[in-house]
Amino acid sequence: MSIHLSFKSYSLPFIAAWQSAHERQWQRAGWLVRIAAAGDCGYGDAAPLPAAGTEAPAATVSRLHHWQQRVGQLSAVADDLTAIYAALAELAAAVPSAAPAADCAVETALLDLCAKLRGWPLRGWLSAQAVEIQCIPVNAALGAVSKQTAAAVTASAALGFRVFKLKVGIAPLADELRWLHTVAAALPSDGQLRLDANQAWDVDTAQQAIRALQQADLPIESLEEPLAQPTDAALVALQQQCDFALALDESLARRDWWTAPLTVPVRRVVLKPSALGGLRPTLALAEAALAGGVEVVVTSVLESAAGIWATAQVAAAIIAEQSVLNQTVMPRTLAQGLATSDWLARDLGAAPLVRAGYLHLNDAPGSGFVPHPT
Ligand SMILES: O=C(O)CCC(=O)c1ccccc1C(=O)O
Ligand SMILES: [Mg+2]
């Protein structure tokens, strides 16, 4: 027997341009990684997006070639399961990886395979309590605030979403504040806005934005990455001015998570497995954050269904650990940023179902991803 790792490039068009302060894109490109062994196979999504903290695509490919060769070497000298565990150990030892999107894909494919061989859903492999978690609250990913209409927000609310995420920091602040008022007026009474500035603002602009949002009493749930220069001192000061949570996202990749004790200058972290090198590093970081009283939200990097299934599995594991860890401190589960599959005009397989503001997992062995026949 032997283990075989293969990967195939994909390019999936968006239904409309995806825009953030970092980028404007019409399609999503990556590689579907497949690892076959012991009569079954697992899948992972290598979906680099440097703006989200991953390596560039060229580094993803060369890293996938490395793992292809390495998995072949390991399987030449050991039985399949031993070689799979050895590869998983090498991936864990590689954190923090210079090619986290590639490592995430290979780790995901190995875990998907292990879980299938065992007959477990992948989240059960990550955390025993997680098997019970079937439904994950998710936010609507609406895109740039400039592109919103009251009708679009009403339609999204009718689908059952209660947290509506908007990209800001793209147009002048005064314009965006005006648009935010229009969106807020269309929200259901229990609706909230999650904003993401993707590091667009200097300290002055961020302060001005926060002051305006609070004075207008807009229902802001959180604000991701307000600062171009996210120093601890500036973030601590900004968080003190805010009634809502500030969150770190893409700037996390540049912090020293792995050797120093975890300190976070804001109330929340946004975790993306593709930027962190895999599902297990994401879970480890989430556990450290939760233990320190920091809120955790898992989000996609607009990856294909192969990635979304796996990212949802680790989100379920984190939610399970969270309810065990501190039921009283965090009674409500935050909406996770996993409802992004509708941005893709086509996909590599069926994405998890999103209904009434919840993403639904099932009990199928592995991640739940099944590729469309090609
Ligand atoms: O969180 C969501 O709902 C959507 C995901 C999202 O906004 C995103 C997607 C791709 C790259 C970066 C980000 C981000 O959160 O900054
Ligand atoms: Mg973000």
How are the residues of the chain apportioned to helix, strand and coil, as percentages rounded to the nearest 5? 45, 25, 30
DSSP 129: G
Q: What does the block give as tokens for 57?
A: 């695509």
pLDDT (0 to 100) of residue 328: 47
Ligand 1 pocket residue status of 139, Cβ below 6 Å: yes
Domain ranges within the chain, ordered by starting residue:
4-119, 124-360
167 as an active site residue: the answer is: yes
Q: How many CB atoms lie within 10 A of CB 48?
A: 27
Residue nearest to atom 10 of ligand 1 (CA): 301
Q: Is the CB of 141 under 6 A from ligand 1?
A: yes
Structure tokens given for 207: 């302060």
How many angstroms is it from 20 CA to the middle of ligand 1?
Answer: 9
Pocket probe mutation, ligand 1, options 28, 302, 342, 343, max atoms within 8 Å of Cβ: 302
Superfamily of domain 4-119: Enolase-like, N-terminal domain (3.30.390.10)
Could you tell me which of 23, 97, 112 has the C-alpha nearest to residue 66?
Answer: 97
pLDDT, position 329? 44
For residues 204 and 225, the answer to whether their CB atoms sit within 8 Å is no
Give pLDDT, residue 38. Answer: 86
Per-residue confidence (pLDDT) for residue 263, from 0 to 100: 86
> Which atom of ligand 1 is least distant from the CA of 250?
16
- Enumerate the β-bridge partners of residue 227: 201
Alpha-carbon distance of 197 to 168, in angstroms, equals 5
165 is catalytic: no
Segment-wise mean pLDDT, segments of 10 residues, the chain, 374 residues:
93 97 95 95 97 97 98 94 96 96 98 97 95 96 95 95 97 97 96 98 98 96 98 97 97 81 91 97 94 94 98 97 64 90 98 97 98 92
Mutational test site, ligand 1, from 104, 196, 270, 334, max ligand atoms within 8 Å of CB: 196
pLDDT of residue 30: 98
pLDDT in the model for residue 326:
59
Indicate if ligand 1 lies below 6 Å from the C-beta of 268: no
- The atom of ligand 1 lying closest to the CA of 225 is 16
> What was the pLDDT predicted at 97?
94
Query: How is domain 124-360 classified at the CATH fold level?
Result: TIM Barrel (3.20.20)
pLDDT, position 218: 97
Interval between CA 160 and ligand 2 midpoint (Å) = 22
Fold match between 4-119 and 124-360?
no
**Probe ligand 1: pick from 300, 311, 334, 354, max atoms within 8 Å of CB?**
300
Q: Of 43, 120, 37, whose CA–CA distance to 86 is shortest? A: 37
299: Cβ below 6 Å to ligand 1?
yes
89-126 in b/e form (b: 16+ CB < 10 A) is: ebbeebbebebbbbbbbbbbbbbbbbbbbeebbbbbbb
Q: Which ligand is nearest to the CA of 141?
A: 1
User: From the annotation, which residues make up the binding site for Mg(2+)?
Assistant: 196, 224, 249
Residue 302 token pair: 């607009």
| Residue of 116, 147, 165, 167 marked catalytic | 167
